[in-house]
A and B are shown apart, each in its own frame.
Chain A
Amino acid sequence: MDMSTLPDTFDSAIDDALSWISDNGEGLFDFIRAILEGTYDGVLWLLQLLPFYGIAAIAAVFGWRLVGLRFGIAAGVALVVCALMGLWGETMGTLALVVTATVLALAAGIPLGIAAGFLTTLDRILQPVLDLIQTLPPYIYLLPAIALMGFGPATALIATVIVAMPPAIRLTALGMRMTPREFIELGQASGLTGWQMFSKIRLPFALPSIMAGINQSLMMAFGMVVIAGIVGSGGLGETIYGSVRTLDIATSINAAIAIVILTMVLDRLTQSAGKGGKA
């Protein structure tokens, strides 16, 4: 075989495979897309039930209870700033994307992490896969997704879920393996069943690590939804992408500020919720 044609053969094989999948799996992918967009629309609709000051007030109260009074006030004021910049709709769009993607990532990642914590074989298979996901540049995941799902929030969600999942899996698995030996022995000596050992001993000890995983997933999701602006995700990511293309520096800076505000508020809130769970 002529070596010079090898790359071309490889490329065309990939292209053929992708178009075969998109042709034959059309119904399936339309279905997935409908579910994802439906979920996203639902979350966005919920977030828009309240006016901006309502959401800001909720953030302020949670910030006050979980972190402290000063943070609560700062969080409320910062969210009002997002609205005053004329970016409230986009901010909520981004929040809806991040929340939907994180919840999906956790729904898959935490059970997978628990399984990996117990099954060393699964853990050995998962490690290189997670390494690969985390070393590839994140926008790579947009390409196959856009080929299969088209332009829009569904593609952004898929790519974001892929990027947000690894920390949840890793830190959950770690937490499961971190149970101090003497407590395993206590469980055995007290006659615990396998399920009781999991629910009453391993899980509570793993909780801080799992909460750290949730926080990290959320942060990864924030990073990705901005990049996903390229594929028409809606929200602040698309605003930034649009303003960069038209060199509208003022708008892009405003949108960036709104993202920073949203990220910091959610970061602090989830971190404190994690510490609160430790008691």
Chain B
Amino acid sequence: MNIAHKDVSEILVDCRSVWKIFGTRAAAAIEAVETRGLSKKDILKEFNCVVGVSDANLQVRRGEIFCIMGLSGSGKSTLIRLLNRLIEPSLGTVMVKGKDVASLDAAALRDMRARNIGMVFQSVALLPYRTVLENAAFGLEVRGVAKDERNKVARAALDKVGLSDWTERYPSELSGGMQQRVGLARALAADPEIILMDEPFSALDPLIRRQLQDEFRQLTKSLGKSAVFITHDLEEAIRIGDRIAIMKDGVIVQIGNAEEIVTKPADDYVADFVAGISRIHLVKAHSIMQPVAAYRGDINALPRAAPEADISALIELTMQSEHDAIAVVDNGAVIGVVTTRDLLRGVAA
């Protein structure tokens, strides 16, 4: 009971059975969903309405980076906009910090967006007639923070993203990657608990994208922020996310951490996606090991590894020893053995 209570208090964003239906007859379609439980296809056929998000459930905890991965048209952009009510849900509730966002009046909603939920856009949306510093201070400016104070905070935020030398430039003088850093600094300057990232790095070239992914993850973790990160790139989701939700046609097909998604795909769609993903950093010793009894040699002679060691580390260990297996050790006790065959199966499966 106690533990459950603690978990609830840690959940910053809570989506419960959220639907979004677009179209002129959306209201009737929703009624049909409620009373008859119609499917997406039936709704399109019967009401000529498009289902953007269908029965989405997800929880984002404090300090967590939650990725939503899906192709274009999967409803991920709609879903992220339901979280700060840029789009009104047709059905279901979205709770942010324990408050139902649908219940907020205009002023309370503005306050929540200004203080609790920041947003970074794929298009960056830096105001072209403002300097980098003025852009970064924008969120504080609209909250009425005095100029000296907001410039100080904005400078600190720009410093965090490595742009302290560019404060007086205009956005058009910056490269795409730098512009997106300003977008991130603008969101961070307002010091929200939750940052919504709407495909922020999709338009950048691969090298810069990787660099920003790592920086973003490191920065978010060190500041203790929570983030909801939208992407169409599974590798990006795996690199950045603590947990990943896979979306298809408005439905969340699977939620889990990277290893769960890659090793136990919920359906063929997810399996197709993860087929090309390298497992050597995702699959851990504990999920490929054999029981100790299955190993015939001398266990005590084997090199040792932790259950959380990934395949890449295990390969490294195997290369360094003349043995054909590694003992997995937890709390001083050998709990399993990973043989060379197990390693190959882990990489291939």
Q: Which residues of A contact B (CB under 8 A)?
A: 180, 182-183, 185-186, 188-193, 196, 200-201, 204, 278-279
Task: Tell me whether B86 and A192 are in contact (CB under 8 A).
Answer: no
| Contact for B121 among A186, A191, A193, A204, CB less than 8 A | A186
A201 neighbours in B (Cβ, 8 Å): 127
Q: Which of chain B's residues has its CB closest to A191's CB?
A: B114
- The answer for the CA separation of A196 and B135 in the assembled complex, in Å, is 15
Q: B273: CB under 8 A from chain A?
A: no
Which chain B residues lie closer than 8 Å to A185 at the CB level?
A: 86, 121, 125
**Given contacts A188-B86, A189-B118, A204-B127, could you give 6 more A-B pairs where the C-beta distance is less than 8 Å?**
A189-B84, A189-B119, A190-B139, A191-B143, A192-B142, A279-B129
**Contact sample, A vs B, 15 pairs, CB 8 Å cutoff:** A182-B121, A182-B125, A186-B121, A189-B86, A189-B117, A191-B109, A191-B112, A191-B142, A191-B143, A192-B142, A193-B142, A200-B141, A204-B127, A204-B129, A279-B170
CA distance A192 to B144 in the complex (A): 11
Interface size grouping (class) on chain B: 20 to 34
Question: B229 at interface (Cβ–Cβ under 8 A)?
Answer: no
Decide if A182 touches B123 in the complex (CB within 8 Å).
Answer: yes
- Let me know if B113 and A191 touch, CB within 8 A: yes
Contact with A along B101-123 (1 / 0, CB 8 A): 00000000111111101110101
- A191 near B110 with CB under 8 A, answer yes
CA distance A201 to B127 in the complex (A): 8
- Name which residue of chain B comes closest to A204, CB basis: B129
Complex contacts, B119 vs chain A, CB 8 Å: 186, 189-190
Cα A10 to Cα B190 in complex, Å, equals: 68
B66 at the interface (CB under 8 A from A): no
Known: A191-B142, A200-B142. A183 touches B125 (CB 8 A): yes
Alpha-carbon distance between A131 and B119 when the two chains are bound, in angstroms: 43
Contact B127 A191 (CB under 8 A): no
Interface centre among B127, B143, B170, B190 (most CB of A within 10 A): B127
Interface status of B19 (Cβ within 8 A of chain A): no
Are the CB atoms of B114 and A190 closer together than 8 Å?
A: yes
Chief secondary structure at chain A's binding surface: helix
Residue B201 CB within 8 A of the other chain? no
Among residues of B, the one whose C-beta sits closest to the C-beta of A200 is B142
Closest to A181 in B: B123
- B125 near A186 with CB under 8 A, answer yes
Q: Are B113 and A190 in contact (CB under 8 A)?
A: yes
User: Contacts A182-B121, A279-B170: A189 and B113 contacting too (C-beta < 8 A)?
Assistant: yes
B142–A196 touching, CB < 8 Å:
yes
Chain B nearest Cβ from A211, distance in angstroms:
13
**In chain B, residues 60-99, which have Cβ atoms closer than 8 Å to a Cβ of chain A?**
84, 86
B129 touches A188 (CB 8 A): no
Collect the chain A residues with CB atoms within 8 Å of residue B112's CB. Answer: 191
When A and B form their complex, which 8 residue pairs have the shortest distance between CB atoms, in order from nearest? A191-B114, A191-B113, A191-B110, A189-B119, A182-B123, A186-B125, A182-B125, A279-B129
Q: Give Cα A200–Cα B137 distance, bound, in whole angstroms.
A: 13
Bound form: Cα–Cα A201–B110 in Å: 16
Q: Find chain B residues with CB under 8 A from A189 CB.
A: 84, 86, 113, 117-119, 196
- Name the residue on A nearest B120 (C-beta): A189
State in angstroms the CA–CA spacing of A196 and B114 once bound together. 13
Question: From B138, which residue of chain A is reached at the shortest CB distance?
Answer: A190
Residues from chain B with a CB closer than 8 A to the CB of A204 are: 127, 129
Question: Taking the nearest CB of chain B, how far is it from the CB of A279, in angstroms?
Answer: 5
| Nearest chain A residue, comparing its CB with the CB of B196 | A189
Find B110's partner among A193, A200, A278 (CB 8 Å cutoff): A193
A136 to B12, CA, bound (A): 64
Residue in A182, A186, A279 whose Cβ sees the most chain B Cβ within 10 Å? A186
Determine whether the beta carbon of A188 is less than 8 Å from that of B121. Answer: no
Residues on the A chain within 8 Å of B143, using CB: 191
Please name all residues of chain B whose beta carbon is closer than 8 Å to the beta carbon of A196 when the two chains form the complex: 142
Decide if B139 touches A278 in the complex (CB within 8 Å): no
A193 to B196, CA, bound (A): 20
For B117, list chain A residues within 8 Å (CB). Answer: 189
**For residue A200, which residues in chain B have a CB less than 8 angstroms away from its CB?**
127, 138, 141-142
| B86 surroundings in chain A (CB, below 8 A) | 185, 188-189
Q: Which one, A191, A278, A279, contacts B111 given CB within 8 A? A: A191
Q: Contacts of B114 on A, CB cut-off 8 Å?
A: 190-191
Specify which chain A residues have a CB less than 8 angstroms from the CB of B118 in the assembled complex. Answer: 189
Q: CB-nearest residue of chain A relative to B183? A: A186
| Across-interface contacts of A183 in B (CB, < 8 A) | 125, 127
In the assembly, what is the distance between CA of A183 and CA of B127, in Å? 8
Looking at A182, A189, A196, A200, the one whose CB has the most chain B CB atoms below 10 A away is A189
With the chains together, A189 CA to B195 CA distance in Å? 11
Alpha-carbon separation in the docked complex, A191 to B128 (Å): 20
Question: Bound state CA distance, A181 and B39, in angstroms?
Answer: 32
Shortest Cβ gap from B125 to chain A (Å): 4
Complex interface: chain B residues within 8 A of A278 (CB): 129
Who on chain A is nearest to B85 by CB? A188
CB distance from A59 to the nearest CB of B (A): 28
What chain A residues lie within 8 Å of B110 (beta carbons)? 191-193
